[in-house]
């Protein structure tokens, strides 16, 4: 990754509730550039790799099994300065009950798991690994 980039996933709940356009609009208004984007139904193996650090936790199977084969929007976002931190700030707390109004999760997520609307990489290392996982042709 030569630019400052991150992976963002709009989970099946966001797609089903027709929030994709609104979420993308918020990200674009925050001056992020969409480098790549695709809507796809990803296999269990991809989701298992994405959430591998959570294997064995109560919610792991509901995420991996519940999202497999469901439509997900995957995006690579780029921008200036602290892209990962800025995206995560706009996204809001993982727990929607703690997410500040005005953040994406604060405004749209109803419950924490299995589907809290979206995922975003939490570090440069995670972003690199996750981009390669969802966009192997981009790496």
- Rounded CA-CA distance 88/110 in Å is 18
Question: Quick count: other Cβ atoms within 10 Å of Cβ 115?
Answer: 21
Q: Is 0.85 surpassed by the pTM of this model?
A: yes
| Domains in the chain: boundaries | 5-134
β-strands 33-41, 5-10: how paired?
unpaired
Pairing of strands 71-78, 33-41: antiparallel
For tokens 């790799």, what's the residue?
Answer: 49
Q: Does 134 carry a binding-site annotation? A: no
Question: How many residues appear in the chain?
Answer: 139
Q: What's the pLDDT tens digit per position in 10-67?
A: 999 999 999 999 999 999 999 999 999 999 999 999 999 999 998 998 888 888 888 8
Percent of the chain whose predicted confidence (pLDDT) is above 90: 72
Active site residues: 119
Residue 17 assigned ligand-binding role: no
Quick one: which of 7, 13, 92 has its CA closest to 46?
7
Which run of H or E residues covers position 44?
helix 44-50
Residue 116 counted as an annotated binding residue: yes
CATH number of 5-134: 3.30.70.141
């Amino acid at each position: 990754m030569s630019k400052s980039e991150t992976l963002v996933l709009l989970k099946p709940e966001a797609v089903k509730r027709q929030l994709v356009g609104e979420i993308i609009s918020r990200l674009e208004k925050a001056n992020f550039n969409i480098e790549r984007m695709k809507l796809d139904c990803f296999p269990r193996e991809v989701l298992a790799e994405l959430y591998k650090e959570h294997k064995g936790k109560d919610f792991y199977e509901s995420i991996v099994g519940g999202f497999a084969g469901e439509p997900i929007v995957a995006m690579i976002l780029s921008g200036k300065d602290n892209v990962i931190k800025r995206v995560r700030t706009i996204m809001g707390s993982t727990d929607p009950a703690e997410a500040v109004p005005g953040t994406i999760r604060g405004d749209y997520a109803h419950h924490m798991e299995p589907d809290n609307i979206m995922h975003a990489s939490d570090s440069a290392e995670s972003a690199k690994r996750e981009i390669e996982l969802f966009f192997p042709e981009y790496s």
